[in-house]
Structure 1
Amino acid sequence: MKASSVPAAVAVVVPARNEEESLPRCLAALDEAGRALADAYPSVALSVTVVLDGCTDASARVVAEYPVAQPLAVDFASVGLARRAGVAHAVAQLGQPASQIWVANTDADTEVPGQWLVEQCRLAASGVELILGTVVPNPVGLDAALERAWHAAHPLDDGHDYVHGANLGFRADSYLAVGGFAALDIHEDADLIARLKSLGVRWAAVDSIRATTSARTTGRTSGGFAGYLRDLPL
């Protein structure tokens, strides 16, 4: 895409593994973000792919209740492979050149802000190829000491050095140039970002698209955000 032009299409990819309780809030937030995108950039096509990775609960039924989203059923038990499959599916469905597609990533237990997609398109139009957003744990039910420990370790500002798969965007052609998400169960986001930065893409770390994610301390994998939150020194 040319500098000073918005993407022709935006693909949102959401991996989910037995997330029937969290998905309604996630998809409602994405619906709001999609409506804001349509208002700000009516020419931009939008797809939302929820990758149902080995789900045995009612996640598929939840997705069916939200016209904004389409399901993609896989059985990898790997967040890296789930994200990879979701991106490939979305890019193929949109039918645009990869250079004209922006991929926005979040998680099924995360709620993005209303301007999430608008701000990513604005930055993409300025020539940014990779956006790293901030994430905060949902304070509802979160132990106060643990919440303080989180914020002490994560000052929220532009120029941060955090990588969260729950709040991440990139241009599809840059993503494809480095081989996409790897088959990793954890840290697939950090692995991809390291390769994108090594490629020399123009990137921005911003707090303007701050997302709220589950504060659970038992996650769907043995590591990841939940494990990190659980193990924070108080």
Structure 2
Amino acid sequence: MDDKLSAILIVVPVRNEEELLGACLLRLRKAMDRLNRARPELELRLTVVLDQCRDSSPALAASFAANDPRLSVLSVGCGVVGATRAAGIDFALESLAADTPARHSRERIWIACTDADTRVPVHWLTRAVKLAESGSDAIAGTVEPDSSDIDQAFFALWSRDHDRGEGHGHIHGANLGFRASAYCAVGGFDPVPVAEDVLLVEKLRKNGARVTATGKIHAITSGRMQGRVGSGFAGYLRNLAQRHVGHAGEHGS
């Protein structure tokens, strides 16, 4: 199979993220600009998926879209992140097909996922494209909680607990990419409130997709303990914090 890409579609689900969305979009724009300079022939689009937002996230997304034709805004009422991600990907694929019929096969379209509370590095897309064109059907990057959101002792515990090496075992929807053909072949994201990223990668692997887990594509995400869903990454941090408190109590007793 020819692994050469022709289009990159970025999809970001949003639920009441007015405080963090701006930083997310600024970082994404920088990553897009770098890829545009390196590979100007690639079609590059960003879809912001607003899911039942009750804050100023829609206005913020609209202001970014007004100044960048690569960005589109989609409003949905899914209520669960798996369905929200899937709706954004469906919209992005359909829009690309409508605007450039027959130009892009799904084998040559790369879908890049992150979250509205996450800041990606400027090389986020250029490194992903390099790995994809070297044979990867999916890429699982790494994340870490924003150290300004948590105390240093807890951040040290996170760092000890979290492998950032090549071949790591982590899956984060905030730093995940895959070939559109591989995604469609397994039915996409399941409409679930949590673990939609893990379920997708499990399906990809079972279907024979070439999944690369790398620490060379690393992002910073919110360190809050109360997320927009009942569990997910914030729930993981909450459980880790409870372990940290228990461990400290044992040593202090």
Task: Please state which band the TM-score falls in when normalised by the shorter chain.
Answer: over 0.9
**Residue in 2 that maps onto 1:56:** 54
Q: Answer yes or no: is 1:174 the counterpart of 2:182.
A: yes
**Displacement after TM superposition at 1:141 (Å):** 3.0
**Residue in 1 that maps onto 2:75:** 73
**Residue in 2 that maps onto 1:2:** 2
Amino acid at match of 2:74: L
**Residue in 1 that maps onto 2:224:** 216
Give the structure with higher Rg (CA). 2
Normalised by the size of structure 1, how large is the TM-score? 0.97
Take 1:137 and 1:69, find their aligned partners in 2: how far apart are those partners?
A: 26
Structure 2 unaligned regions, length at least 5: 98-103, 245-253
Amino acid at match of 1:76: C
Normalised by the size of structure 2, how large is the TM-score? 0.90
Take 2:160 and 2:117, find their aligned partners in 1: how far apart are those partners?
A: 23
Q: Answer yes or no: is 1:154 the counterpart of 2:152.
A: no
Amino acid at match of 1:205: A
| Equivalent position to 2:171, from 163, 167, 187 | 163
Contact 1:27 1:69 in 2 (8 A): no
Name the structure with the higher helix share: 2
Take 1:34 and 1:48, find their aligned partners in 2: how far apart are those partners?
A: 9
Aligned-residue identity in percent? 44
Take 2:149 and 2:61, find their aligned partners in 1: how far apart are those partners?
A: 25
Take 1:208 and 1:135, find their aligned partners in 2: how far apart are those partners?
A: 11
Structure 1 unaligned regions, length at least 5: none
Amino acid at match of 1:197: R
**Residue in 2 that maps onto 1:184:** 192
Take 2:74 and 2:90, find their aligned partners in 1: how far apart are those partners?
A: 11
Q: Which digits, 9 at most, give the CA deviation of each residue in 1:154-182, with x for residues without a partner?
A: 02111101000000000001000000000
Q: State the Cα RMSD in Å.
A: 1.0
Amino acid at match of 1:208: K
3-state DSSP class of the match of 2:149?
coil
Amino acid at match of 1:80: G
Take 1:196 and 1:62, find their aligned partners in 2: how far apart are those partners?
A: 34
**Displacement after TM superposition at 1:78 (Å):** 0.4
3-state DSSP class of the match of 1:166?
helix
Take 2:128 and 2:154, find their aligned partners in 1: how far apart are those partners?
A: 30
Aligned residues: 232
